[in-house]
Chains A and B, each alone.
Chain A
Amino acid sequence: MSEKNVKNQELTEETVVAKVAELMETLDHVKEYNTLAGAFKRFALIVLSSIAVFLAVGASLGFLNLVATLDKPQLFLAALLLLLVPISGIATGVLFIRRRINAIKTGEWKEELSHGFPSALKILLEMDWDGTFDEISSGRVGYALYGLLKTAAYWIITVFTVGLLGNLAAFLVLGKAGFLGLPIWGLLSLLIVYLILRKDLSRRYNEIRALDKLLWELRWFSLELRRAEFQT
């Protein structure tokens, strides 16, 4: 074999190793999505509980007529404090998810792959493709649900924040509160949340599309790899 061919062969081997490294790095990222999907129930429980507590306390204040015992500044302060419950619920949920994601072990394949082409071959041949596809699928669904729940939680908080600020402004300007109903605050809040999270939602959508693309790409690859027989 000429020196040029040897050089080309080495380059091809390096390319295979680099491609497998790229694949493994991508699968490390998939682990993050999958962890998020696994922790989603706990996240949903934290966020929904905080919203339930917020609504229950708010409703109790109304039903027990405790509102009547408070003057307007006190009422405003109480409502503001009450809003801290769902806000801290979301913050706790997100922190919980981040901790779970940070605990993921990644890059364990690096040592193995440092042995060059044979190790790259081993990784490819021993890969649990079906397990990987399940991970991508569940990660994709979990990520979408996570985004939706977080947006919904932001919306609920915004409804009450906007309502509170709107009522305060109405009280200060017009001398009376509650001149607009919950549906109006709801729609206005939806618009505000959409405007604030528009870029974030679009990025999340692109991430889900990317996971989808990865799933198809790897399905094709594993099928080709399994179908092809290397002739010795």
Chain B
Amino acid sequence: MNFGEQSSKPDLYVIARIIKALKEKNRMNKTALATSTGLAYDKLVKYLSWMQERKFVEIDENGFVVLTKTGAEAYDDLVQWIMKYVGQLKFPRLRLRT
């Protein structure tokens, strides 16, 4: 699946945005989801199709996008994955003296 002109890899940021929006609202129609995530409708449809393949989301009989348990877990894994690296960072205190 082609997500952009240069890459066929999905953008983790976009996926995270979609899942987060669905986590907050439970179920949303595609137009509202596109507005909420700031994505162009056709781009959102491509992402939803990719997410459906991986069972992250389902489209119910009324056309509403629903987050699945797998999708919620994938988001949680993503948070934990980032936390694993970011959590280890220690920043020195910098104070420039002129």
Q: CB within 8 Å of B: which residues of A?
A: 1, 9, 12-13, 15-16, 19-20, 22-23, 26, 29-30, 32-33, 36, 94, 97-98, 101, 116-122, 124-126, 143, 200, 203-204, 207, 210-211, 213-214, 217-218, 221, 224-225, 228, 230, 232
Contacts and interface: CB of A to CB of B under 8 A. Distances in A.
Contacts of B80: 12
Nearest to A8: B76
B95 to A, nearest CB: 7
B86 to A, nearest CB: 4
Contacts of A124: 82, 86
Given A12-B83, A124-B82, A117 B20 contact: yes
Interface of B: 10-13, 15-17, 20, 54, 72, 74, 76-83, 85-98
The 3 lowest CB-CB distance pairs between A and B, nearest first, are: A210-B92, A118-B16, A122-B13
Contact of A26 (B79, B81, B94): B94
A1 B67 CA distance: 14
> In terms of DSSP, what is the predominant structure of the interface of chain B?
helix
Contacts of B13: 118-119, 121-122, 125-126
Contact of B12 (A207, A224, A230): A230
Contacts of B93: 210
A19 B16 contact: no
A16 B91 CA distance: 14
A207 B97 contact: yes
15 contacts: A1-B72, A9-B79, A13-B79, A16-B83, A16-B87, A19-B86, A26-B92, A29-B96, A204-B97, A211-B92, A214-B94, A217-B90, A230-B78, A232-B54, A232-B74
A22 B95 CA distance: 14
